[in-house]
């Protein structure tokens, strides 16, 4: 199928849409950097820190935003959502920038999470629908690179800003708010998804919006259940990794520089892994095999922390393994497969629903992580290893094989052989 934009234009649109990932991850990691400072400044308990994590852009609020945004995307179009939700994001960021009480942190993350959650199904659907059929994985990889770039920039800047305390860290939130406003204007020139417009035209005369009977048909319920389990178990580990790693490094008395440099290294390694492995191979090779290799590396890397002491050399080796594995693992394939396993008319709604369940589950889990980590980190490490084993097995056994196929071809094949 011909796309509505040129090849050059499709890469530009992919980048503009994918910047939602940068803003999402930047919000999560900025919060993690500020966490220890907020704890000392406001005397926050481990339970309150868990509450921040649960309702942050990392979890529940993002899940709710994704469900609402995904439904609106299929009803009103991708462009209306991804163009204007960044203004809502910038408004939420103001609470974090000017936070002078603990309640402002909760409100800020709640609003920010709603905005980034709504943007995810809009941007991911647009990327898949406008990408060339033989480069859909590569285009999805751009969004993932931007997701990994957010923490690299934030943590790199935090290394220089943390000596200035919370006033220095506020600049991390300021840069995200400014980018969100700029992105609103840059996205105004983007076109609506041609595939969505054709899908809407084909449904002319029908009740506008999502056909919920189609969404909850056995075929698509199986797809959603698969994605929720594969990505959900992995995301329970990833939520700990993204939000709590700097906090745990600080709590275990590792060098101060390690709080920012070590986590930033994970994401920097991930960028090269996405570029060299996922973007290069996902459209050409057996995706099940590629996913399986990543899953094995994830389990091995997490076992290091479960078996060995939480020392700087162990953490560095762990970060190296997980960074490489993460680049072509569950998150990259979740974005790709959640775009491929559903037709255009319900694509964003299905993505939003699966993303919502995963992030809300992470929010509930995040309530327990700080206390568990403080009391017995080894137990936490073994639990996280178990999550990665479950994600790897589910993902590998039922992984689809869609490399090089058009979205229309995939849907036709699924109609013939559902499940």
Q: Where are the alpha helices (DSSP H) in 78-164?
A: 78-97, 102-130, 136-161
Structure tokens at 100: 């002078």
Q: Where are the domains of the chain?
A: 10-200+208-416
Pair 83, 188: CB distance under 8 Å: yes
What string of DSSP letters covers 198-252? HHHHHTTTSPSS--HHHHTSHHHHHHHHHHHHHHHHHHHHHHHHHHHHHHHHHHT
- CA torsion, ordered 350, 354, 355, 357, to nearest 10 deg: 140
Pair 68, 282: CB distance under 8 Å: no
pLDDT in tens, the chain (419 residues): 444 446 667 898 899 989 988 988 898 888 878 887 888 888 888 778 777 777 777 778 889 999 999 999 999 888 888 778 899 999 999 999 998 888 898 899 899 999 989 999 999 999 999 999 899 999 999 999 999 999 899 888 988 898 898 899 999 999 999 999 999 998 888 888 899 999 888 877 665 667 888 899 999 999 999 999 999 999 999 877 766 777 778 777 788 888 878 888 999 999 999 999 999 999 999 999 999 999 999 999 999 999 998 889 999 999 999 999 999 999 999 999 999 999 999 999 999 999 999 988 888 887 777 777 667 778 888 999 999 999 999 999 999 988 888 999 998 887 766 55
Among 399, 354, 364, residue whose Cα is nearest residue 121: 354
The overall pTM is greater than 0.85: yes
Q: What is the pLDDT of residue 5?
A: 45
Round the CA-based radius of gyration of the chain to a whole number and report it. 20
Fold of 10-200+208-416: Growth Hormone; Chain: A; (1.20.1250)
């Amino acid at each position: 199928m011909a796309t509505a934009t040129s090849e050059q234009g499709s890469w530009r649109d992919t980048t503009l849409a994918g910047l939602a990932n940068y803003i999402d991850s930047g919000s999560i990691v900025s919060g993690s950097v500020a966490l220890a400072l907020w704890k000392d400044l406001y005397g926050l308990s481990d339970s309150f820190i868990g509450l921040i994590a649960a309702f942050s852009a990392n979890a529940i609020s993002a899940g709710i935003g994704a469900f609402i945004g995904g439904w609106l995307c299929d009803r009103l179009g991708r462009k209306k959502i991804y163009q204007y939700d960044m203004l809502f994001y910038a408004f939420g960021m103001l609470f974090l920038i000017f936070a002078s009480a603990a309640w402002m942190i909760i409100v800020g993350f709640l609003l920010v999470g709603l905005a980034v959650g709504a943007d995810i199904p809009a941007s991911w659907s647009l990327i898949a629908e406008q990408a060339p059929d033989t480069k859909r994985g590569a285009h999805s990889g751009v969004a993932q690179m931007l997701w990994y770039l957010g923490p690299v920039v934030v943590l790199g800047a935090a290394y220089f800003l943390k000596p200035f305390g919370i006033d220095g860290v506020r600049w991390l939130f300021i840069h995200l708010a400014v980018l969100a406003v700029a992105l609103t204007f840059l996205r105004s020139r983007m076109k609506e998804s041609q595939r969505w417009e054709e899908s809407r035209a084909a449904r002319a005369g029908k009740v506008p919006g999502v056909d919920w009977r189609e969404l909850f048909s056995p075929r698509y319920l199986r797809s959603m259940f698969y994605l929720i389990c594969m990505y959900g178990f992995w995301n329970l580990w990833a939520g700990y990794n993204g939000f709590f790693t700097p906090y745990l490094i600080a709590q275990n008395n590792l060098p101060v520089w390690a709080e920012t440099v070590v986590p930033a290294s994970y994401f920097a390694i991930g960028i090269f892994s996405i570029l060299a492995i996922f973007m290069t191979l996902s459209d050409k090779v057996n995706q099940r095999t590629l996913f399986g290799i990543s899953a094995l590396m994830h389990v091995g890397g997490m076992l290091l922390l479960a078996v060995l002491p939480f020392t700087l050399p162990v953490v560095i080796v762990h970060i190296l393994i997980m960074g490489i594995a993460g680049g072509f693992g569950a998150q990259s394939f979740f974005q790709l497969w959640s775009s491929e396993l559903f037709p255009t008319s319900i694509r964003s709604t299905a993505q939003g629903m699966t993303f919502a369940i995963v992030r809300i589950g992470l929010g509930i889990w995040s309530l327990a992580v700080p206390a568990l980590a403080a009391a017995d980190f080894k137990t936490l490490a073994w639990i996280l290893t178990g999550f990665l084993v479950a994600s790897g097995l589910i993902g590998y056994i039922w992984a689809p094989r869609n490399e090089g196929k058009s979205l229309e071809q995939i849907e036709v094949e699924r109609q013939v052989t559902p499940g």
